[in-house]
Structure 1
Amino acid sequence: MRQLPSSKNLFIKVVIFLLPFFLIGMFFNAPIESLCIGLVCLIVWHYHQLSLLIDWLWKKRGAYPPASKGIWADVFDGIYQQQRKHRKKRNELTVLVRRFRLGAESLPDAALVFNNDRTLVWCNSLAQKMLGFKWPEDMGNRIDNFLRQPEFIEYLELENYEKPFEFPSPVNELTILECRIAPFEKDKWTLIARDITQIKQIEQMRKDFIANVSHELRTPLTVMRGYLELLTESDVPEAAIWKKAHAMMNEQTIRMDGLVNQLLTLTKLENKQFVLAQSKVNVARLLQMIAEEAKTLSDNKHIINLDIEPNLFISSSEEQIRSAFSNLIFNAARYTPAGKSINISWKALDNGGARFVCRDTGDGIPAEHLSRLTERFYRVNQARTRDSGGSGLGLSIVKHILANHNSDLEISSQVNVGSTFSFTIPAQFIVKE
């Protein structure tokens, strides 16, 4: 570390500098005038060094300091060392800020910082996407100019942020956001908003599931309870009453058993508990069997046309494949009026895959229902589906089975014309003989 000169040393240096001027003045009998000349020279030299300093500080800030001697060398060196320290500190702060911003950008939630007057200080990219901000254009604008929901404004004004607040995204009203506000630093607050749309949908599905299962089980249980009470009240029930009661209770028991089995199947599919047994499924034979069962189901009131390639097999679980095919074909038989046709095809594709199509000529399905058909217990016509023996779970089961085969259920329909249900099985599951 450079040793700084003391006041005594500085005084000695000035005396040494002026001494030659004094001696020359004594020689010419003008010591005062000579000392004044020496002082002027000293002042000019210091002024020159000061000019070098100003020029270096304002015009050549990135360069090394100019060469100098004496006390000015200490000044230049001291300023240069301070500049290096500040530059190093600034670089460290820049890296720290960059890391903070990168960390904030990597958050899975929208994040923003605002002042007490609700003006925006900073926001990440998700805040721009989910809340509609533009950065840095909106810096300094009030956040309530963008988040205008009255409930949110009231939440801000209360300044009681212990509980989170839920509100629809100003960018997309179908997206539900949950926000939390917490102190950031003096006079500043941070707002974190996350997308909870899927959580809300799951909660609603759970509520709907409980309500639907309760409703589905209530009817058969009510029927069975009614007949049991009737039989209990009669000492010796008549044969006709007993026969009817037995038939109805048996029918409702079968219905409940089928519902429970479908629920178990769906739960296993959703939880990925089904293991695809790699057996070679004879699709042609399977479809012919299901078509015959569908004819029996509809008392041979439909014309079922099959267009099937006989040597096109699927390497998969026969139980799952049968469930997918039968649900689609039985649905077509249930909702196609008597005397009309159902067309079923199973064809190879050029890419090595295979495509299944089930096209009926029924009443068709309104377009607003198509996107929800694969939801559990969803019915276009509640009474008609229940009367036909449908549980509202079949298409949901088909969707999950196809997902296990890297496929999706495609649905198209036209009212008073008919509906088409189709899917493509990728080449990795297809075996040709």
Structure 2
Amino acid sequence: MTRHSFSRVLSQLLLLVLVCLLVGWIVGQPAWVLVVGLGCYLAWTLRQMSRFYHWLSSHPNDPPPEARGIWGEIFDSIYHMQRRDGRMRARLQAVIDRIQASTAALREAVVMVDRDGHLEWWNHAAERLIGLRSPDDSGQHVANLIRDPRFIEYFEQGDFREPLEIPAPADINIQLQYAITRYGPGDRLMVVRDVTRLHNLEQMRKDFVANVSHELRTPLTVVVGYLETMLDLDDDLNPRWKRPLQQMQQQASRMQALLNDLLLLARLETSDNPSEDELVDVRPLLEHIRKDAEALSGERGHHISLHIDGNTRLHGIEGELRSAFSNLAFNAVKYTADGGEITLRWHSDAQGQHLSVIDNGEGIAPQHLMRLTERFYRVDTSRNSTTGGTGLGLAIVKHVLLRHQGKLEIKSEVGKGSNFSCHFPPERSV
């Protein structure tokens, strides 16, 4: 009720009182006439309230009953509010219908999961890819329908930055990718797509690289052997052929290093977890890597230091860890200016065990950091060709850490150096 309407009601009531008093004064009974007038006004008000209640409870969608005065304004205002709410609900329902129709047309499965992990809604593709049944599975916990242990661990740990790829529940020949996004008060939206074709192409690429690497290894070994034999014959070797043969031997050695890295990477990609863990003490491992890094530095004069703090034993594969740690240390030597500082630091805390390889080299621009672990990705092609890198070192580090449930963290700033850190979870500690 607006202030104007309230003023009108007070004016009408005051006018009624004055009229009743005037009539009562004329007939000589002002009190009784006032009581009768106010009683009639009260009865009229109760009558309008009864009509109002009957209209809202029985016929809310019909036009309001006819009324005058303030009650007519109340009826009309509520009726207009209902019309506006109805139009708004119709628009919202149309938007919801369009969203549901568009998601139903998607090839990807879309599943809405509440904060407790129960299924709320899904489109038709979810029935085809995951095997959900409507309405029987509504309200079921998602772990009861997708029982792969890898999915259950992925769903419960709550880290959805990277998607999960596992075989479909109904057909192991179909590879599905699960991507989960949080929204609302703990609800989750799960998008599932069929990536079988990409998975098969990736597997073909891995098989091709592995097979080609194996096939090239034998003839390359023969070539390197003959080159070494020819270079050993210094007295009988024509001086004009010595430099070409040395360059051929250098490039053949680079090709051998590339093939070895490709074979190692192919072996690491065949499984996500080490098949046989062993107890590894990283202290002698890091000390040996520091000495190898000093030998690689040679006359360049790098100052390489090693700091170890806390537990140094963890479960893993020593050969794989050696390859990952040495790649980080040797990269620091290659890409740090002569006389630079390189620090290898191992420490443990409540979050697990950590290795940091820190240098004061020229650093890496931010746009390159996300792609450093890609195969053959090079920030500076000319620099890599000079230092003899294969472009596979950080890819090997990434896969070794994945097989040990660890992760690689890279921090770098141009002109201030880089920090490559390996983080191992607490369950890997001894």
Tell me the TM-score normalised to structure 2 length: 0.47
Q: Which structure has the larger Rg?
A: 1
Scaled by the length of structure 1, the TM-score of the pair is 0.47
